[in-house]
Amino acid sequence: MTDFIFSRKPINITHGSDVYLYDENKTEYLDLGASYACVPAGHNHPDIVSAVESQLKKLSYIQASYPLTIRDEFHEKLIKSAPGNIQNVWLCNSGTEANEAAIKFARHATGRQQIISTKNAFHGRTMGSLSATWKSEYKKGFGTLLENFNFSDFGDVESLEAQISEETAAVIVEPIQGEGGVNIPPKNYLKRIRELTKEFGAAMIVDEIQTGVGRTGSFWACDENNIVPDILTSAKGLANGLPVGATLCADWIASNSGNHGGTFSGGPIICAAGSATIDVIVNQNLPKNASSIGSYILQELEETIGNQTRDIRGSGLLIGIEVKRGSGQILQQLAKNHDILALPAGRTVLRILPPLTLKKHHADRFIQAMNNLPEGLL
């Protein structure tokens, strides 16, 4: 019996290794979705598996009020990776929880209520983060969400300028909108948000749940944009598939963040996985690989099928191919005829989010498959 929340996929996955997934028939699939960017180091990376197994033999769980060395190590690595001088970390279990915390912290620290998000944003499915999410289909039937949430046009500074004021607690933004269509803003957009939030005394929340942990070519997309937010949220790939989220905060937020907590915040197994994941990302220089392989894919696709699509865009190994028809049939063709698994980003965008360990020959296999799709499908 399938989980009532999720529809059953036609492929029954049994195990994985690096960039490959295998089904019950032993078919090998090239995984270009990484379960929505959750396994940046590849499936079953031996260093991460070893760290989890070792911790499991010592201590599976202890509540966060007790000191824990492995948690301290994970905190230190997160802080070391963070942009600027962000020194504070709150751990949770998912991206939506990280954003819930960010919204609460910003409101408490500023004493204000208004949160400005962006059109086509996706920040999660619980009631607070859902209030900051744009698409109505995610909200239908759940009743009244949180009040004082407004939406500006993504990439349009003037739209934000018309809404931000001394009543604004925070502006929450994705450096690149993933679920919304792999939408990339103009070059100085994030810098201008940083300037405006400082001018009005509001917090800048950067949602790096999909863009972070090396995905776009730097450890954080904030690094590429030369900004230091007040709050940065992360999840998905942060523990290479184990459930963890993190809300990183500047001192002025953390010192007045209010009463917040979570039973499973910073459990030992999760922290062991997160600490090992950061080591793998950094030591294997996976952000650099994401940048080089991503640029190669973009260039090759543009040269070979660019004139057949509406747009091909991306940063690092977060790539969107906007097609003239729907993406559903393309996804089916890739899976059925080429043993390649990818993702949609809305109805017309094919989203490529592979493990950051992807090599050139893997990229070539995908590029060839895209060039061999039935005529007119793009």
In a domain, 376, yes or no: no
In a domain, 271, yes or no: yes
Alpha carbon distance, N-terminus to C-terminus of the chain: 36
**Final residue before a domain boundary, out of 260, 283, 306:** 283
pLDDT cut 90: percent of the chain above it: 95
**Final residue before a domain boundary, out of 232, 263, 283:** 283
In a domain, 2, yes or no: no
State whether 159 and 304 are in the same domain: no
Could you tell me the pTM of the whole model?
A: 0.96
pLDDT cut 70: percent of the chain above it: 98
Is the per-residue pLDDT at 8 higher than 80? no
What's the pLDDT band for 7 if we cut at 50, 70, 90? low
State whether 99 and 244 are in the same domain: yes
State whether 327 and 306 are in the same domain: yes
Mean pLDDT score, 41-51: 98
Q: Which domain holds residue 270?
A: 46-283
Task: State the Cα torsion 332-315-240-262 to the nearest 10°.
Answer: -110
Q: Are strands 88-92 and 28-31 parallel, antiparallel or unpaired?
A: unpaired
- For residue 249, what are the β-bridge partners? 88, 231
State whether 162 and 294 are in the same domain: no
Q: Would you give the distance in Å from CA 321 to the centre of its chain?
A: 18
Domain total in the chain: 2
- Per-residue pLDDT tens over the stretch 71-87: 999 999 999 999 998 99
Give the DSSP letter string of 137-200: GGTTTS----SSEEEEPTT-HHHHHTT--TTEEEEEE-SSBTTTTSB---TTHHHHHHHHHHHH
State whether 30 and 53 are in the same domain: no
CATH (domain of 27): 3.90.1150.10
State whether 121 and 215 are in the same domain: yes
Distances 324 to 14, 133, 307, 314 between C-alpha atoms, Å: 34, 26, 11, 18
What local confidence, expressed as pLDDT, does residue 9 receive? 73
**Final residue before a domain boundary, out of 261, 283, 305:** 283
In a domain, 378, yes or no: no
CATH (domain of 155): 3.40.640.10
Q: What is the mean pLDDT of the chain?
A: 96
- Per-residue pLDDT tens over the stretch 271-326: 999 999 999 999 999 999 999 999 999 999 999 999 999 999 999 999 999 999 89
